[in-house]
């Protein structure tokens, strides 16, 4: 066999393995949540995990396409919230929209959703043989609110969060937790400065709160946009994720 033929054969084998990995049936995860999964071309025991949490009234398809373009090394799970809204979408907890961008919400439902998400993370890592120390959450709006709550309640299970256009609930701040562990959670907080649903001041408050808790890796960004996600924001997210999952630099051996 010529050198060119061998090279062509190797390329065909690589392509076949890649296609096979993408077409493999999804493992069964023990969960009551509906979800979508996007597997990387190469998966190992060190594959990082990205959990997507949509906003109020949406579903698991909302952030799924965005996740595909963030970082190809992740296996991504986009979850559907367990409660239905009157408008036909889904939510992590029911809420009532009040004047002046204020809300009345059901925190008990939030805690129930939190338990379901934590259970999903554990069971997904078992089913797919994933690294449970490399779990990141990306949430938009109500999903971002849940990401904050999860990071505070279970910091040992969450390596990093991306909280987009959200707010920090008072109940989340008051949870019994290990704040030294919370300080190790990597955080990317972003908000539109013309947000007409959740005030940008809520993002500022969240940033200040986590700074007061000595969170070491904290990035805060504001963008020229309403209650949405922008291209510039996604580019910043990509750059942040690269650093967030990069292996620690090895110190040179002392002579």
Residue 232's CB is within 10 A of a number of other CB atoms, namely 13
Q: Is the pLDDT of residue 93 over 70?
A: yes
- Residue 81 within a domain: yes
- Residue 255 within a domain: no
- Residue 15 within a domain: no
- Residue 39 within a domain: yes
pLDDT tens sequence across 140-188: 999 999 999 999 999 999 999 999 999 999 999 999 999 999 999 999 9
**Could you list the residue range(s) of the whole structural domain that residue 82 is in?**
34-244
- Residue 14 within a domain: no
CATH number at residue 111: 3.40.50.1820
Is the model more confident about 225 or about 248? 225
Q: Is the pLDDT of residue 129 over 80?
A: yes
Give the strands of the sheet with 75-79, arranged side by side: 35-38, 75-79, 49-53, 135-140, 160-164, 186-192, 218-223
- pLDDT mean across residues, the chain: 87
> Tell me, what's the pLDDT at 8?
44
- Residue 159 within a domain: yes
- Residue 123 within a domain: yes
Residue 82's CB is within 10 A of a number of other CB atoms, namely 17
* Number of domains forming the structure of the chain: 1
């Amino acid at each position: 066999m010529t050198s060119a033929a061998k090279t062509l054969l190797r390329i065909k084998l690589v392509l076949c393995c890649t296609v096979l990995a993408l077409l493999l049936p999804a493992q069964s995860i023990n969960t009551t949540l509906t979800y979508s999964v996007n597997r990387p071309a190469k998966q190992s025991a060190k594959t990082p995990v990205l959990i997507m949490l949509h906003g109020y009234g949406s579903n698991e398809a909302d952030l799924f396409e965005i996740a595909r373009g963030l970082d190809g090394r992740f296996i991504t799970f986009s979850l559907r919230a367990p409660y239905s809204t009157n408008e036909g979408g889904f939510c992590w907890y029911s809420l009532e929209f009040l004047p002046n961008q204020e809300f009345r919400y059901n925190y008990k439902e939030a805690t129930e959703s939190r338990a379901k998400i934590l259970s999903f993370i554990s069971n997904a890592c078992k089913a797919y043989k994933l690294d449970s120390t490399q779990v990141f959450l990306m949430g938009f709006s109500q999903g971002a609110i849940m990401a904050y709550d999860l990071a505070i309640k279970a910091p040992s299970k969450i390596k990093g969060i991306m909280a987009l256009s959200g707010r920090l609930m008072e109940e989340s701040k008051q949870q019994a937790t290990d704040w030294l562990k919370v300080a190790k959670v990597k955080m990317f907080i972003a908000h539109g400065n013309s947000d007409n649903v959740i005030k940008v001041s809520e993002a500022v408050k969240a940033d200040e709160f986590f700074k007061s808790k000595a969170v070491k890796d904290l990035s805060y960004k504001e963008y020229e946009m309403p209650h949405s996600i922008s291209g510039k924001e996604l580019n910043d997210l990509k750059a942040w994720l690269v650093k967030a999952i990069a292996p620690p630099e090895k110190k040179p051996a002392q002579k």
